[in-house]
Structure 1
């Protein structure tokens, strides 16, 4: 990517990718299919399912993002989800609250004491193998490293992981979510700092498909703090997410499996 391209990331993203609010059954099945391909068939994190859809109990109160190639025919690239509070049981813990219950530093923040309609969790980020074939990426569902940002002489940009994160932030903003939680690789905060995004670690590390740390970020602070060269891609991604709401409206949650 040339230095000039770095300052037109929105057009660069639009040229190669699009993000879709997975509000209908077909696009949700694309999401579940990517997750099965990555988490079940390739990495072995979850058991193989006869219908080749990786689904868990949190999906029925989650919103999903799908990333596709923008050329015809559309190619599936990756996905993620925004886990919201259960409408019928708002105090039901989010996934990270289960996994990190022994390591959370509740002096920083106690998720259980937050208004449940204002918090959510980013999870199930997955990118298909074809798009993460570099050394060190084959054993993880989504990777981000220093090399993704290139050098001053040869800058480049990690469209896929950043596009997926920005898409779920756009979903969260639309839903009125104030604080996002996630389990991240320890160095993700350093990588995101390059974009102007502040991620705060809120507890000790756990073993969860590798070493992960519980973290949080403020949705409004992320949007306000984005560096100038990231704002064009944020504009494109948010427009695409909002288009999904305009076309379909907010989907109902899925029924209990």
Structure 2
């Protein structure tokens, strides 16, 4: 297991990765490119697009995040936070349509929540070279017990956990306190064990494999975060703050079409490093 007494997760993370909020059009193109590679080419969940961009109607009102390799400057993963649409009370988050028949509305009824502080985390994807392990061929991202290493060999799944911590911070910055996720039960259970404020809200459903809808409290996750995750969260929060576009008020939301994108290199490495 990864030992917090011996290793600082934040220091380890910043040796390998950096979180980049994708607010510019150029950076969003990198998001759509990764998603096409993973969802259309690798997994064949979606059809191949002529322009090699996986994009849908929810992207226009989403907050996007990228993870970049420090050593190669390659973008290795992405995810998004789908927000409600101001002035459109009829608009539903993707999971509200997909899971309409399986949601337990005695636990939560999304239609009765303030729409401006709920969102859905979706389209989490990791490029092939960083998830090329047995059992990951049919999943855009995965966590297993072996990702946490052994007493003699420390490991940690920086990519998926880093992306989820990044969505937590970006959601906080945008006043979002409840996020919904539709994901594999195994992945959700690992996040719950790590201290994410997680609750199942419905029955499993077939959606590119068996998925379970759940919800997480942003403030609850931050408040109850385990001590060994706090340095990692702080480093990721600093990345987001440093890479936000200039808005005049310190908050994200203004596109800068001239944001720099560094050269991209493709290599295959151990996904747990």
> What is the TM-score normalised by the length of structure 1?
0.93
Distance 2:61 2:241 in 1: 19
* Matches for 1:1-257 after TM superposition, within 5 Å: 3=3, 7-71=7-71, 73-245=72-244, 247=246, 250-251=252-253
Contact in 2 for aligned 1:91/1:116 (Cα 8 Å): no
Q: CA deviation at 1:2?
A: 7.0
Distance 2:67 2:140 in 1: 14
Distance 1:5 1:156 in 2: 14
Q: Report the RMSD for the aligned CA atoms in angstroms.
A: 1.8
Contact in 1 for aligned 2:23/2:253 (Cα 8 Å): yes
Q: Structure 1 90/236 Cα, relative in aligned 2: closer, same or farther at 3 Å?
A: farther
Contact in 1 for aligned 2:61/2:83 (Cα 8 Å): yes
Give the helix-richer structure, 1 or 2.
1
Cα deviation digits, residues 177-205 of structure 1 (max 9, x gap): 11010101112332123321131000011
Q: Which runs of 5+ in 1 are unaligned?
A: none
Q: CA deviation at 1:70?
A: 1.0
Q: Which runs of 5+ in 2 are unaligned?
A: 256-273
- How many residues of Structure 1 are paired with residues of Structure 2 in the alignment? 252
> What is the TM-score normalised by the length of structure 2?
0.87
Contact in 2 for aligned 1:189/1:198 (Cα 8 Å): no
Distance 2:191 2:6 in 1: 16
Report the 3-state secondary structure (helix = DSSP H, G, I; strand = E; otherwise coil) of the residue aligned with 1:227: coil
Contact in 2 for aligned 1:6/1:157 (Cα 8 Å): no
